[in-house]
Chain A
Amino acid sequence: AQSVTQLDSQVPVFEEAPVELRCNYSSSVSVYLFWYVQYPNQGLQLLLKYLSGSTLVKGINGFEAEFNKSQTSFHLRKPSVHISDTAEYFCAVSDKGSNYKLTFGKGTLLTVNP
């Protein structure tokens, strides 16, 4: 069975600093990986996804993530954050064994301080 671990439940940073949100997964087969963002009292919005090909994936709002198969990781990065990036971020994985249903991590709350 697939699972996702987001290693940090909260990440506080200052505005314009770089940030990395960590995500590790477990799966016995080829996976598809996603990052979503959730602003307070809203649904989730897709930031980026990895299906195949280049391991460096670029998404919206200046975010990018790198798929590392040997370390089973899919960490999310942004070189310079803004106050408006304050939100909760979810990593998700799907694979053929789960009939491609998404399994989500527990989320990382990114707080950007002035």
Chain B
Amino acid sequence: DGGITQSPKYLFRKEGQNVTLSCEQNLNHDAMYWYRQDPGQGLRLIYYSQIVNDFQKGDIAEGYSVSREKKESFPLTVTSAQKNPTAFYLCASSIDFGNGYTFGSGTRLTVV
């Protein structure tokens, strides 16, 4: 079955360490997105990529970095510059605007 895989589901890191969240899709979608979800805040866009080797900042990109070397993969790095990294992170992909997004099951990052 096609879908989006995010790993790991739970991630714990010490403050000051960089951490990379994985997002892989086998849907052949061109566009991929990273969102951050905090209680009562809805989903906020971190980065998005509409084609391989190209990506743009979203609304809250500071302290995060991404790469898009392959169509299937869009990893997100949470750097030590991100002041409040503890959150639920969601990856999504889309083939065109009319179909909305397909979401992964998320990674819950806890920084202690």
Contact = CB atoms under 8 A, between A and B. Distances in A.
A45 B97 contact: no
Interface string B6-31: 10000000000000000000000000
A104 B43 contact: yes
A90 B42 contact: yes
Given A106-B40, A106-B42, A41 B108 contact: yes
B22 to A, nearest CB: 14
A43 B106 contact: yes
A99 B30 CA distance: 14
B90 A43 contact: yes
A112 interface: no
Contacts, number: 53
Interface string A92-106: 101000011110111
Given A41-B108, A45-B103, A106-B40, A32 B98 contact: yes
A43 B97 contact: no
A43 B104 contact: yes
B34 interface: no
Interface string A26-68: 0000001010100001111110010100000000000000000
B100 A49 contact: yes
Nearest to B59: A103
A32 B97 contact: yes
Interface string A71-114: 00000000000000000001010100001111011110000000
B24 to A, nearest CB: 14
B45 interface: yes
Nearest to B50: A99
16 contacts: A34-B100, A42-B105, A43-B103, A43-B106, A44-B103, A46-B100, A46-B102, A49-B99, A90-B43, A94-B97, A99-B50, A100-B97, A101-B45, A104-B42, A106-B40, A107-B40
Given A36-B100, A41-B108, 18 more contacts: A9-B40, A41-B106, A43-B104, A44-B90, A44-B92, A44-B101, A44-B103, A46-B101, A46-B102, A49-B99, A49-B100, A90-B42, A92-B100, A99-B50, A101-B45, A104-B43, A106-B40, A106-B42
